[in-house]
C-alpha cells in the first residue's frame, strides 16, 4: 500500500519529485565532502611537521599532557625508550592578545625549548640564531632527577574551599620490608589551626617477630616549613631528599608503654619507577591527589628498639604521597613487587556532595626495570569478608587494558584497625591497614606474570 501511494505521488508531480530527489542527493554529497575535508584537516593538525618537526606527537586525553616534564625525563628519557628517542621537546599553544592604540588583536602562539626545537630541526625556528635557552629551559632540556622527584613530592597550598578546609591533610607515606621485619611510616600535615600553624604528625608502625608496635609524635609547623617538602622536620624526626635518596631520621616514643624507636632509614628512588601526580576534582572545591615517587626502591639503614637493632640493608622500600580534602572520603589501595615488576592499585570514593563515586574509576599500574609497563582503569576490587564478621579475609583485584591483563588473589595475613572519627577521613568507619600475601597472574605488556609475594593493602569498612 505504501509503495503504491509513493509511486502515484511521484507520477502525479514528476517535476517536484525530481527537484526534491536532486536536493537530497546534493545534500548528501556536500555532507560527504565536508566530512572528508574535516578528516584531512584533523589529520594535518596533528601532523608532527606542523607542530614543529619530529616524527611523533604525544598529547593528553584532553589536549594538554599532564606532568610533561616527568614524561620527558622518566619515560622518554630513561629505560628502553631512551635508546630509541633521539630528542623529545615540549610544546605548548596558547591564545594571546596583541594590544595597541587600535585595540586588541587575538593571536595564536606556540612556545618550546630553543635547543630542543633546534635539535628537532623545526623549520620555523631553526634559522633564528638569537633564540636560545633561558635558565628555566634547562629544567626541560636536561632535567635533574632530584628536581623531578622534588616537584612530584612538593606540598600543596590549601585550596580556597572554606566549607571543606577543616578536612585538609597531606602526607608522605613510606613502607619497607627486610627479612621478617616491616615498617609503615607517615609524615602527615593537617588543616590550619586557629593560630595559623599546622600539625605535622609522625607515626611509625613496626612489625617484628609477628607483633606490631606503634610509635608517634606531633609538632606544630608553619606553611613555610611545609613548603620545603619532601624535606620535612617534626622535632627530631626528619625526611630529606638527597639526590635520589630519601634519608629519614626518627626518634619516637611508643604509643603505649615505655621505650622509643630510633631509626636511620634510606629509600633509594630509581628514574622511571614512579607514578606521576594526578588529581581528581569534584563539586564545591573538593580535590584529592596522589603520586608514587618510589614504586620500588633499595632499602638501607636500621631501626633500634631498646637493645634490639633491625637491619634494613638489602630490603625493599616504597613511597607515595597523598593530599586533599578527606571528610567522608575512603579508598582501596594495595602494592606488591615480584619478578622484577612493581604493581600498585587503588580507587578513591569521594563524598556524595563532591562526585558520584560509581563514576570514579580505579587504577592499576605496572612498572618494570626500564620504566612503565602498563596501566589500566578497567579495574574491579572485590572484598570477601570472614563469614562471621565484617573483617576482610581476602581481596580479588582484576585489571584489564591493551597493556595489562592481571589478577591479584590477596590473602590477608595481619591487620591493624583504626576507628575513624566522625567528620574526618572515612567518617565513622574502620580503617584497615593490611599485610597480605599476593598471588599475581596474567600478563604485563608482553611478559607473562605468575608469582606469590608479600605486599600491603588498605581499605575502609563499616563498624561491627
Confidence at residue 24, expressed as pLDDT on a 0 to 100 scale: 64
The residue behind cell 587504577 is: 363
Confidence at residue 459, expressed as pLDDT on a 0 to 100 scale: 92
Query: Is the bond preceding 230 in cis, omega lying within 30 degrees of 0?
Result: yes
Q: How many CB atoms lie within 10 A of CB 187?
A: 24
Confidence at residue 61, expressed as pLDDT on a 0 to 100 scale: 60
Domain ranges in the chain are 109-142, 147-326, 327-464
- Separation between Cα atoms, residue 360 and residue 220, nearest integer Å: 35
- Separation between Cα atoms, residue 366 and residue 338, nearest integer Å: 11
Confidence at residue 43, expressed as pLDDT on a 0 to 100 scale: 56
Confidence at residue 56, expressed as pLDDT on a 0 to 100 scale: 74
Confidence at residue 78, expressed as pLDDT on a 0 to 100 scale: 66
Q: Could you give the residue ranges of the DSSP H alpha helices within 74-188?
A: 114-119, 135-141, 145-152
* Residue 423, helix vs strand vs coil: coil
Confidence at residue 34, expressed as pLDDT on a 0 to 100 scale: 63
* Residue 39, helix vs strand vs coil: helix
Give me the average pLDDT of each 10-residue run along the chain (464 residues): 61 65 64 62 52 66 68 70 75 83 83 80 75 81 84 93 92 93 94 94 89 92 95 96 96 88 95 85 94 94 92 95 92 93 94 91 90 90 86 94 96 86 68 93 94 93 66
Confidence at residue 6, expressed as pLDDT on a 0 to 100 scale: 59
Regarding the domain delimited by 147-326, which CATH topology (the fold level of the hierarchy) does it fall under?
AttH-like fold (2.40.370)
Confidence at residue 7, expressed as pLDDT on a 0 to 100 scale: 60
> Is residue 123 within 8 Å of residue 221, measured between CB atoms?
no
Amino acid at each position: 500500500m505504501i509503495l503504491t501511494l509513493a509511486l502515484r505521488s511521484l507520477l502525479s508531480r514528476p517535476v517536484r519529485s525530481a527537484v526534491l530527489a536532486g536536493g537530497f542527493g546534493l545534500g548528501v554529497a556536500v555532507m560527504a565532502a565536508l566530512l572528508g575535508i574535516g578528516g584531512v584537516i584533523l589529520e594535518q593538525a596533528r601532523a608532527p611537521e606542523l607542530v614543529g618537526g619530529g616524527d611523533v606527537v604525544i598529547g593528553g586525553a584532553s589536549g594538554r599532557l599532564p606532568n610533561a616534564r616527568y614524561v620527558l625525563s622518566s619515560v622518554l628519557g630513561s629505560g628502553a625508550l631512551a635508546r630509541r628517542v633521539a630528542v623529545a621537546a615540549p610544546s605548548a599553544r596558547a591564545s594571546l592578545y596583541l594590544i595597541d592604540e587600535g585595540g586588541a588583536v587575538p593571536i595564536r602562539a606556540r612556545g618550546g625549548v630553543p635547543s630542543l626545537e633546534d635539535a628537532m630541526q623545526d623549520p620555523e625556528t631553526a634559522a633564528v640564531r638569537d633564540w636560545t635557552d633561558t635558565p628555566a629551559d634547562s629544567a626541560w632540556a636536561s632535567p635533574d632527577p632530584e628536581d623531578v622527584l622534588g616537584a612530584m613530592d612538593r606540598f600543596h597550598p590549601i585550596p580556597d574551599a572554606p566549607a571543606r578546609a577543616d578536612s585538609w591533610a597531606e602526607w608522605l607515606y613510606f613502607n619497607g620490608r627486610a627479612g621478617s621485619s616491616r615498617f609503615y611510616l607517615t609524615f602527615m600535615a593537617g588543616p590550619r589551626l586557629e593560630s595559623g600553624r599546622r600539625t605535622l604528625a609522625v607515626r611509625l608502625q613496626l612489625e617484628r617477630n609477628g607483633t606490631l608496635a606503634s610509635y608517634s609524635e606531633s609538632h606544630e609547623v608553619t606553611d613555610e616549613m611545609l613548603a620545603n617538602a619532601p624535606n620535612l622536620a617534626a622535632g627530631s624526626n626528619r625526611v630529606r631528599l638527597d639526590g635520589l635518596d630519601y634519608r629519614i631520621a626518627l626518634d619516637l616514643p611508643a604509643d603505649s608503654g615505655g621505650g622509643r624507636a630510633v631509626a636511620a632509614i634510606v629509600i633509594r628512588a630509581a628514574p622511571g619507577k614512579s607514578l606521576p601526580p594526578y588529581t581528581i576534582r569534584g563539586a564545591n572545591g573538593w580535590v584529592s591527589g596522589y603520586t608514587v615517587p618510589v614504586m620500588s626502591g633499595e632499602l638501607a639503614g636500621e631501626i633500634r628498639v631498646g637493645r634490639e637493632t633491625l637491619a634494613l640493608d638489602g630490603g625493599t622500600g616504597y613511597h607515595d604521597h597523598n593530599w586533599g580534602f578527606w571528610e567522608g572520603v575512603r579508598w582501596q589501595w594495595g602494592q606488591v613487587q615480584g619478578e622484577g615488576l612493581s604493581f600498585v592499585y587503588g580507587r578513591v570514593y569521594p563524598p556524595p556532595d563532591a562526585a558520584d563515586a560509581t563514576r570514579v574509576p580505579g587504577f592499576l599500574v605496572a612498572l618494570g626495570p626500564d620504566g612503565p609497563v602498563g596501566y589500566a582503569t578497567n579495574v574491579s576490587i572485590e572484598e570477601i569478608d570472614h563469614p562471621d564478621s565484617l573483617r576482610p579475609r581476602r581481596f580479588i583485584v582484576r585489571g584489564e587494558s591493551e597493556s595489562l591483563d592481571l589478577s591479584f588473589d590477596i590473602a590477608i595475613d595481619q591487620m591493624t584497625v583504626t576507628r575513624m572519627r566522625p567528620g574526618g577521613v572515612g567518617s565513622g568507619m574502620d580503617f584497615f591497614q593490611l599485610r597480605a600475601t599476593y598471588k599475581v597472574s596474567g600478563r604485563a605488556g608482553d611478559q607473562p606474570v605468575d608469582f606469590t609475594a608479600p605486599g600491603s593493602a588498605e581499605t575502609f569498612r563499616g563498624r561491627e
